[in-house]
Chains A and B, each alone.
Chain A
Amino acid sequence: MFIDTLLIGLSSGAIYSLMALALVLVWRSTRVINFAQSGQAVLSTYIGYEISLSTHNYWVSLPLAIAAGAIIGSLVDLLFMRLLAKRGTSGPIAEIAPVIATLGLLGLIQSVIGLIWGNAFLQYASPLSAKGFTFGTHTIPFSPQNLFIVIAAAIVLGIFGFVFRFTNLGLALRAASFQPEIAQLSGIRVNLVRNIGWAFAGAAGAVAGAVITPTSTLSPHSLDLLFVSGFISAVIGGLDSLIGAVVGGLVLGVGFAFILQYISSALTFLAGFIILMVVLLVRPRGIFGQKVKRNA
């Protein structure tokens, strides 16, 4: 039972990690919490759904949904955020305006989805079974699709980790998010690099949407709760740290699974906020947050 619960927790935690990663990527480079992230992810998932309908192949639709997520992320930056940043001077309005804009964008994306696909619950099916693995007579609640979710998340996190740590692009991404002006003066094309960050974030959200949706249904709001969990995970992890996002996601996923299993399903959502409060009280900068104050 313990192992079962742990596995389920890892599976949902992996998804939270992806969502948290998407939020952290944008936050680090723009100081904006991208509330449109769940909208971007669900739109990418609808695109994957549409492709799977015409190709009858989930494995074809998955990479295309991810590519769509990257393009959507890049467009959100180019068409909205960059314009706002250009107009914004200093002061509270300049800081708040982009966040409000992402909220507006979320509503816009979800309405457009409603117009195109309606608000019905759709099935984006994966060929992998959603029934748990069976050992002898014991069936565990961890299915091949759950296993795939964990593997997919691990691959994405591995790729991101590699890119950030070992490539010039990763170095440019880090430099541009830590100190944009110095990066610029070193010759880094900060706007381009930032846009790539948005694309990475969009792709991470799209992976989350496209691998989790086959375990339930697809609707304009089907990823909203995932966003909340991803956000809590990101904050637990310190909001600035990619590793923190991953650890935060896993902590939350496993925490939820155990509360669901051993206490009550009614408590899971409340538990998310309790975990958040405890972390913020004990360690206000999050588990992996930097002590050093950065110049935004």
Chain B
Amino acid sequence: MNSGLVVKNLKVNYGAIGAVKDISLTLTPGELVAVIGANGAGKSTLIRSLSGLVAPTSGSATWKGSSLLGKRPEQLVREGIVHIAEGKAVIPELTVAENLALGGIWRGDKSDVKLATQESLTLFPALASRLQQRADTLSGGERQMLAIARALISRPQLLLLDEPSLGLAPLIIEQIFAAINQLRMRHGLTVLLVEQNAMSALKIADRGVVINLGEVVTTGTPEELLSNGQLREAYLGI
């Protein structure tokens, strides 16, 4: 059991809404798992506790055998675990180039930072022509691309994605999800994707985990989940 992300009986007290009561899940390396659930189901809290932003009350979470809990976010980023926060997580006051640079200024291998930046800009050419603009001049979709591009410059192994589709138009969502899928194919990334938009997420996921009120309701392949009418109606909203 020395590989992948293993979360066992995780419990996080986080206000009344969005708390995590008892969540266990496992991601094998290279897998893309979508965590689906309504607002307040505990999705964000789950991901925030895995990236070190909130401290869980009990339970365990390990990546490749070493515990994630009790470490600071910036430490986890250095270990290859990168959380892209909800809501186009860029710094609006900084330029696109500066936002990208944040993902690499603390890394020692400057030539790889350069290479990773080139790769990110090739993946998202819309950003390449806007490097000197402030990030708040970008569209919502471009900001989400910028957040992903910045994360890539940190050379992640495990990507924790919190609602990348939030507030975006369907066409843009499709583009973003295609890019995420392409990335994990190319780099062998392991991706934990938290989404309210079940349909889009399950399209690219290997497996889905449905959570409600802080607990796992069921888990299965996208086909299994989507063919369960009761489940669709109750939790997926599709």
Interface size class of A (residues with CB under 8 A): 20 to 34
Within 8 A of B (CB), among A165-186: 168, 171-172, 174-175, 178-179, 181-186
User: Chain A residues in contact with chain B, CB under 8 A?
Assistant: 168, 171-172, 174-175, 178-179, 181-190, 290, 292, 294
Q: Count residues of chain B with CB under 8 A from any CB of chain A.
A: 28
Known contacts being A168-B101, A292-B136, is A182 close to B106, with CB within 8 Å?
A: no
**B79-94 interface mask toward A, CB cutoff 8 Å, 1 = contact, 0 = none?**
0001111000111111
Name A171's contact: one of B74, B82, B101, B151 (CB within 8 Å). Answer: B101
- Check if A290 sits within 8 Å of B93, measured CB to CB: yes
- Check if B90 sits within 8 Å of A182, measured CB to CB: yes
Provide the residues of chain A in CB contact with B105, threshold 8 Å: 168, 171-172, 188
Q: Closest CB-CB distance, A160 to chain B, in whole Å?
A: 17
A109, B90: Cα distance in complex, Å:
40
- Check if A187 sits within 8 Å of B78, measured CB to CB: yes
- Check if A185 sits within 8 Å of B91, measured CB to CB: no
Q: Closest CB-CB distance, A285 to chain B, in whole Å?
A: 15
Within 8 A of A (CB), among B95-111: 98, 101-103, 105-107
- Check if A186 sits within 8 Å of B72, measured CB to CB: no
Q: Closest CB-CB distance, B164 to chain A, in whole Å?
A: 14
A178, B95: Cα distance in complex, Å:
13
Q: Which residue of B lies closest to A290 (CB)?
A: B93
Greatest chain B CB density within 10 A among A168, A179, A182 is at A182
Q: Closest CB-CB distance, A43 to chain B, in whole Å?
A: 32
Q: Closest CB-CB distance, B122 to chain A, in whole Å?
A: 21
Q: Closest CB-CB distance, B218 to chain A, in whole Å?
A: 30
A-B contact pairs, 11 of them (CB 8 A): A168-B101, A171-B94, A171-B102, A174-B94, A175-B94, A178-B91, A185-B83, A187-B77, A187-B106, A187-B107, A188-B105
Known contacts being A181-B53, A292-B92, is A186 close to B98, with CB within 8 Å?
A: no
Provide the residues of chain A in CB contact with B11, threshold 8 Å: none
A292, B78: Cα distance in complex, Å:
32
A186, B51: Cα distance in complex, Å:
11
Q: Any chain A CB within 8 A of the CB of B43?
A: no
Provide the residues of chain B in CB contact with A290, threshold 8 Å: 93
A174, B154: Cα distance in complex, Å:
19
Q: Closest CB-CB distance, B18 to chain A, in whole Å?
A: 15
Q: Any chain A CB within 8 A of the CB of B73?
A: yes
Known contacts being A175-B94, A182-B90, A183-B91, is A189 close to B82, with CB within 8 Å?
A: no
Q: Closest CB-CB distance, A26 to chain B, in whole Å?
A: 18
Q: Any chain A CB within 8 A of the CB of B150?
A: yes
Q: Which residue of A lies closest to B82 (CB)?
A: A185
Q: Closest CB-CB distance, A166 to chain B, in whole Å?
A: 11
Q: Which residue of A lies closest to B97 (CB)?
A: A171
A44, B172: Cα distance in complex, Å:
56
Name B84's contact: one of A179, A185, A190 (CB within 8 Å). Answer: A185
Known contacts being A186-B103, A187-B103, A187-B106, is A179 close to B91, with CB within 8 Å?
A: yes
Q: Which residue of A lies closest to B150 (CB)?
A: A186
- Check if B51 sits within 8 Å of A185, measured CB to CB: yes
**B1-20 interface mask toward A, CB cutoff 8 Å, 1 = contact, 0 = none?**
00000000000000000000
Provide the residues of chain B in CB contact with A182, threshold 8 Å: 85, 89-91
A190, B154: Cα distance in complex, Å:
16
A185, B82: Cα distance in complex, Å:
7
- Check if B92 sits within 8 Å of A185, measured CB to CB: no
Provide the residues of chain B in CB contact with A168, threshold 8 Å: 101, 105
Provide the residues of chain A in CB contact with B154, threshold 8 Å: 186-187
**B51-64 interface mask toward A, CB cutoff 8 Å, 1 = contact, 0 = none?**
10100000000000
Name B85's contact: one of A174, A175, A185 (CB within 8 Å). Answer: A185
Name B102's contact: one of A181, A188, A294 (CB within 8 Å). Answer: A188
Q: Which residue of B lies closest to A168 (CB)?
A: B105
- Check if B77 sits within 8 Å of A185, measured CB to CB: yes
Name B74's contact: one of A178, A188, A292 (CB within 8 Å). Answer: A188
